[in-house]
Structure 1
Amino acid sequence: MHSPMQRRRFLGVLGLAGTAGALQWPASAFTPGSAMQARATEVREVNEPRGVVLSGVSSVESMDPALSVDTETARVCRQVFETLVGIDGETGATAPLLATDWEASEDGLTYTFTLREDVLFHDGSELTAEVVVANFQRWGRMNELLGSDAPARTTLAFESLFGGFFDDEDCLLESVEAAGEFTVELTLSEQLVFLPQALAMPAFGIASAEVLSDADPERLAREPRGTGAYRLLSVDPEEVVLQAFEDYWDGEPPAEKVVVRTLPRSFDRLRELQRGKVDVYDYITADNLRSLVQSGRLILQRDPFSVLYLGFNQDHPVMGDVQVREAAARAINLNTLVESFFLEGSRPAYQFTPAALGVHSEQATRYGYNVEEAQELLADTGYDGEPLRFYYPMNATRSYFPRPEAVFASIARDLTAVGFNITPRPVSWDDGYVDSLLDDDDRAMHLLGRNGGYRSPHSFFGPLFSHQTPEFNYDSAEVRELIQDARSEDDEQSRNDIYREIADLVAEDLPALPLVHPISGVALGRGVADYPMSPVLHELFKDITPAD
């Protein structure tokens, strides 16, 4: 039984988390029809009937869903491409989408998916089992399609879920076959207990066979053709324009057109909302909260299902020493960080998995804030003040990272206070922040985060630690084996115990330091009556309710 994941919440008390001066506003200030909301005035400009404008925080990186490791890219891909499995808006449990039904064999090694019939792609072609098989075959060879000259990258969804690509002996997906015109069979070498949940991620969006080309692997990104409620009209760094798909199998959505406008700065998102140029202001920052409350905005929250962390490059001659990493961990005041820059309900993160997953370990090392101990640890390592490159993003807001520049400044002050010599390396998110830090072999530290894609600890541990990646250069055979054991363990209690053991080892090895499990929020303008909130960001624009 899954706990509710997508219930819409009004933030009746919202402010800087834990501070004595946090904003305390009555719940009535956030409910539709309240006196405060009724008194608010706004001039709304409407270019076309039933259109909705959302504020994005960065430009779309690629319209190839298999490469959608960035949340803003995944947000748009989710509207154009649909997955076999969906997510129920009320419970967060798996739900039919392109597959109307699925079942696992008694040994858990074969999954049979029955496809929805009479589903069309945006190019007019039909969804069949052969098309689904072609998509799986492409995902399983994505490493070949990217080529050996591809830049360093984070772990892709197929690789994380199945343990590798098809040419990797650790890949659990043995075959994918069309057992009938509308029947697909996946055969595994070992159980994957969370397979249906994981297949709901936007990276597994099904594309038309017409745009899947080995000779031209980038064609899908140029010509995105899915079965989603919206088809892509245009995409550029400033905005994405989506048009309702007239032949959508579930009927045309209420909003005929949706524009996602790139507004990296929170102040710009607030201004455009107040001017009526934006209907949905996503990723509210604490410094803008007062203005939103005073204007009577309806504010909704996502339950915390992401983690912000400080990553360490273990190939760096200084950061390769676990004692140096521990000194850094004990130097950072997590309570002050949360209280200063995050919304009410955010919590310091002492492990990578959020509390909702119920796998926190009581035995895992918890690095408490202790300046004297941090100084002593650092002194004992013989660190001589060598400059340490510290990467952080600019002009970026994520569910896990509302104010990156301010968060970096706070952490850098803490590290400097105990003796670290920090060299800031700011890079704009849209200028390739992740690529830049991965390409710098001499970097020492970086800030990044992860939003959970589905309700399993593997959604966090798998992409981060199941393979040695250039992000941490961390390679623990024991952690890898435990992650592999957990994904095939069908007893929930035993599986959770394995994840707790993983948490223990990761905390001890300290390849990265979890910092915050944040709350994120959305403010609605007068043009939108409701927005489909989801901790895993399964937010479909077809479920947006425009105001009458």
Structure 2
Amino acid sequence: MQSPAGPLRKVTWRAVALSAVVLLVTTACTATPLPTPTTTAPSAAPAPTATFNFGTGSEPMGFDPALVADTESYRVSRQVLEGLVTIDPVTSAPAPSLATKWTELDNGLGYSFDLRPDVKFQDGTAFDAAAVCTNFQRWYTLPPDIRGDGSATMFKQVFRGFADEPEYTIYQGCSVDGPLKVTLSLKVRLTDFLQALTLPAFAISSPAALTAGTANVLDEQFSGKKISRYAQHPVGTGPFTFTSATVGAVTMNAYPNYWGEKGEIKTLNFKTFDQPDTRFAALDEGSIDGFDPVTPGNFDKLIKNGKQVLQRDPFSVVYLGINQKIPVLADLKVREAIAGSIDKATLVSNYFIAGTAATAQFIPPKLSGFNNAVEGIPYDPAKAKAVLAASSYKGEELKFYYPTNAARPYLPLPEKVYAQIAANLTATGFNIKPVPIPWNEGYVPAVTGNEDHALSLLGWNGSYADPDNFVGPLFGSPTKLLGMDDPQLVSKITRARSIPDGPDRVAAYEAISKQLAATVPAVPLAFPISALALSSRVVFYPLSPVLNEVFNKVKLAPAPQ
């Protein structure tokens, strides 16, 4: 892996298809106001007519992105809801969306946004500055009974706290400066603030719909999770309106009054297939037009059957979580023995798409903060046994949580990955108790909402090109997932995210990477390559390493005459 040529690494995102290569180059973002892109007037384009069916590997957990952050929930909400800024598909810099331009104020302590005129929510109400502040006020004041400890919400991961946590939060407020002008204020500088606003969690909902759907009252159920009535039917400004959701299927339709490009798809259906073979069969027989994710076992079959396979460049990390609230796991030697027991090379070779790289770090090598000097703890069974023998571990049972009946872009075969890691740990001398939990029956709440798990298998898909997006959510504040108490590390991450882009910021994140490798609060396993499959009907798909894939951008081959 190469060293950075300057203070910031240039990030290159690549997508490989059978018949084409799409090159996406990512550079550092800028706070300079960007011009409004030229868009085709809605009346100039023909109305969408196509039906498009897309297969997914697991059920979404809900449709209120303020409260859920899983890949499949975001896949749906991206179609319906939009934020102030989006991600430029070529540069990855923040680009205009519901805001047409912005200005940095007070050396990063505030940002003034000019909002797009003549935009309406899908319920017919007007999008304006008051709507923006209503959403930010809702996120800031989320009550504890619906947010839990907040660790699973993007608002806390970005702003570090809510209104009732004044000692932690860096959010200052939102002010309406005119019908289409708004200012967001911070207590301290946040260098990646604009990039963070591209997260689906900061998409703007209709205030009227939030009220009508009692968005802060979780009195309904979906996919094993308590949700609000609003979360069953989100209302935004996006290219598709939410129609219905049942077990295994989500349907939406093109929004006829969308301000931007409507695209070719009139009806969009997401269908869940939790097994790789059923996803492959559905595509092969033509009942779906594509699916995500591709697993290693069906990669070659897809190619042999003439399907398109698009690979996203690695922008995620899969890891083994270690819960230090379990007394014996507070012993560094025990954590070192765990890390030294895992055969990452075999994991990557057997259970991930070719090109996936094993890693000892959480920050991908294409971002500033990846530290070339950090090698981590190598796989060494003999040494792992010796380290374990010298530790405080006396054969205590360790509950190992892992998801089943799901495939994630960062974890296509969770049961098999668990099985190998458990075998490695058992060979070293650990007493492992398997705790399989179906993804759709609350796996994420189980590992983030209680403290009885010892080990857990999870991953993180990057949402924007900044190192804080990888280390901040996992280590920037205390969580029940890892049960760690390291104020020094939290302080380092808090400081690093406020340093302006340049050599000092790079050095700060490199130091964080070094500390994480030395203290082993979790074991990074790999930077997975994810892939999706498409039928020949699709001539363009808006592939994105951060999964910013909105289906009004899909281009289809003309229907046969």
Shared fold by TM > 0.5?
yes
Structure 1: how far apart are the matches of 2:113 and 2:147?
A: 33
SS in 1 for 2:435: strand
2:428 and 2:248 map into 1 onto residues whose CA distance is: 42
How far is 1:237 from its partner? 2.0
Q: 1:382 deviation in Å?
A: 4.5
Kindly provide the CA deviation profile for residues 24-51 of structure 1, in whole angstroms up to 9, marking residues without a partner as x: xxxx6x789xxxxxxxxxxxxxxx9511
Alignment partners' CA distance in 2, 1:542 and 1:64? 21
Distance in 1 between the 2:554 and 2:394 partners?
A: 56
- For 2:269 and 2:364, the matched residues in 1 are separated by 32
Change in 2 beyond 3 A, CA 1:223/1:2? farther
Distance in 2, matches of 1:159 and 1:533, equals 28
Unaligned runs of 5+ in 2: 1-7, 23-47, 217-227
State the Cα deviation string for residues 402-444 of structure 1 (Å, max 9, x = none): 1001111111111111111211111110010112234553321
CA distance in 2, matches of 1:439, 1:109: 33
Distance 1:414 1:83 in 2: 44
Q: Does 1:208 pair with 2:244?
A: no
CA contact (8 A) 1:8 1:532 kept: no
1:462 alignment counterpart: 472
Match of 1:163 in 2: 160
Q: Partner residue of 1:17?
A: none
Matched, 1:96 2:96: yes
For the pair 1:332 / 2:342, whether they are aligned, the reply is yes
Misfit runs of 4+, over 6 Å:
none
Please state how far the C-alpha of 1:358 moved relative to its aligned partner: 3.1
Could you report, residue by residue, the CA deviation over 1:122-161 in whole angstroms, capped at 9, with x for unpaired residues?
100110000000000001112x1x42x7656633111111
Inter-CA distance 189–232: structure 2 relative to 1 (3 Å threshold): same
- In the TM superposition, what whole-angstrom CA distance separates every residue of 1:438-459 from its partner, at most 9, and x where no partner exists? 4553321010010111111111
Decide whether the 8 Å contact of 2:311 with 2:529 is kept in 1. Answer: yes
Q: How many positions carry a matched residue from both structures?
A: 513
- In 2 relative to 1, CA 152–163 (structure 1 residues): closer, same or farther, beyond 3 Å? closer
**In the alignment, does 2:483 pair up with 1:476?**
no
Q: TM-score, normalised by structure 2?
A: 0.88
**Is the counterpart of residue 9 in structure 1 residue 32 in structure 2?**
no
Pairing 1:109-188 to 2, within 5 Å after superposition? 109-142=109-142, 144=143, 146-147=144-145, 154-168=151-165, 169-188=167-186
- Alignment partner, residue 68 of structure 1: 68
Residue in structure 2 matched with residue 294 of structure 1 by the alignment: 304
Question: CA separation of 1:158/1:296 partners in 2, compared to 1, >3 Å: closer, same or farther?
Answer: same
- Deviation track 1:321-374 (CA, whole Å, cap 9, x = no partner) reads 111111010011111111111112110021001111132224446110101100
Provide the secondary structure at the position in 1 that maps to 2:349. helix
The alpha-carbon distance between structure 1 residues 451 and 430, as it changes in their structure 2 partners (threshold 3 A), is: same
Sequence identity, in percent?
39
Cα separation, 2, equivalents of 1:310 and 1:383: 19
CA distance in structure 2 between the aligned counterparts of 1:544 and 1:491, rounded to whole angstroms:
35
Query: CA separation of 1:216/1:399 partners in 2, compared to 1, >3 Å: closer, same or farther?
Result: closer
Counterpart among 220, 228, 232 of residue 238 in structure 2: 228
1:385 Cα deviation (Å)?
A: 2.3
Q: Would the aligned equivalents of 2:109 and 2:186 in 1 still touch at CA under 8 Å? A: yes
Q: Equivalent of 2:262, from 252, 257, 264?
A: 252
1:231 CA displacement: 0.6
1:245-296, CA deviations, whole angstroms, 9 ceiling, x for partnerless residues? 0000014221111101011111111110101011112111111112111111
Query: What residue in structure 2 maps to residue 409 of structure 1?
Result: 419
1:67 alignment partner, SS class? coil
Residues 64 and 220 in structure 1, CA contact (< 8 A), matched pair in contact too: yes
On the 8 A contact 2:496/2:509 being kept in 1, the answer is yes
Query: 2 CA distance for matches of 1:374 and 1:450?
Result: 27
> Normalized against structure 1, the TM-score is what?
0.90
Residue of structure 1 equivalent to 2:5: none
CA contact (8 A) 1:59 1:236 kept: no
Local SS of the residue matching 1:384: coil
Q: Is the 8 A contact 1:7 1:90 kept in 2?
A: no
CA–CA distance in structure 1, aligned partners of residues 21 and 367 of structure 2 = 30
* Aligned Cα root-mean-square deviation (Å): 2.0
TM-superposed deviation, 1:544: 1.0
SS of 2:139's partner is helix
Does the CA-based 8 Å contact 2:254-2:267 persist in structure 1? yes
In the aligned structure 2, how far is the partner of 1:3 from the partner of 1:508? 27
Quick one: distance in 2 between partners of 1:6 and 1:91? 10
Q: Deviations over 1:449-472 (max 9, x none)?
A: 101111111111111111110000
Distance (Å, rounded) in 2 between the aligned partners of 1:448 and 1:187: 33
Say if 1:2 and 1:91, in contact at 8 Å, map to a contact too: no
8 A contact 1:281–1:524 mirrored in 2: yes
SS at match of 1:86: strand
1:517 shift after superposition: 0.3
In 2, Cα distance between equivalents of 1:503 and 1:52: 43
Distance 1:2 1:240, change over 3 A: farther
Which consecutive unaligned segments of at least 5 residues does structure 1 have? 13-27, 33-47
For residue 261 of structure 1, the aligned residue among 259, 271, 284 is: 271
Relative to structure 1, the CA distance from residue 125 to residue 2 in structure 2 (aligned partners, 3 Å threshold; closer, same or farther) is farther
2:377 matched residue in structure 1: 367
